[in-house]
Every structure is written in C-alpha cells, then in structure tokens.
Amino acid sequence: MNHLIIQPIVNYGFLGLAAVQMVVIVWLIMRLLTILADNNQVIAGNTEVINRLAGKTDDLLTINRSLHDKIISRPCIAIQE
C-alpha cells in the first residue's frame, strides 16, 4: 500500500527535477550564445587590426629595402686613402 501512495510523489518529483534541469540548460545555452556573439566581435576586431598591421609592415619593408639599396649603391668612404 505504501508503494502506491509514494509512487506519484516520486514521479512528480522527477518531473519537477527534469523541468528545472531543462530551464537551466536553456538558460546556459542562451548565455553561451551571447558569449559566442561577443567573442566573434572581438575576433573580427583583432583580425582587422592584424590586417592593418600587416599592411603597415609591408610598407615599412618596402621603405627599408629602398633605403638598403640606396646605401649599398653609394661608395664606401672608409676604403678611400
């Protein structure tokens, strides 16, 4: 007889626990999606900055090579007597 009285209480307890777990899981997924969206914005910003830095580095490398060529083309004054 006890088994029949307690069984609905246990069933509703598991049902309540499952409902609470479902709410927590949905809340966590919503938080995860928000964090992923913020993360994507940060990655996009970092990518833009890296691309600009790479462009400036290319410009500096071109200037450096030009300066190197100009220095090499000039005669060395240390060799003159």
- Each residue's pLDDT tens digit, 29-79: 999 999 999 999 999 999 999 999 988 898 889 899 999 988 888 877 777
Any domain includes 19:
no
Q: Kindly state whether residue 39 falls inside one of the protein's structural domains.
A: yes
Q: How many domains does the chain have?
A: 1
Q: Quick check: 10 pLDDT over 70?
A: yes
Buried b (16+ CB within 10 A) or exposed e, 45-55: eeeeeeeeeee
Question: Residue 81: pLDDT band by 50, 70, 90 thresholds?
Answer: low
Query: 41 lies in a domain?
Result: yes
Q: What range defines the domain where residue 44 resides? A: 25-71
Whole-angstrom distance, CA of residue 54 vs CA of residue 50: 6
What does the alpha-carbon distance between residue 20 and residue 9 come to, in Å, rounded to a whole number? Answer: 16
Residue 8 lies in a domain: no
Identity at 41, one-letter amino acid code: Q
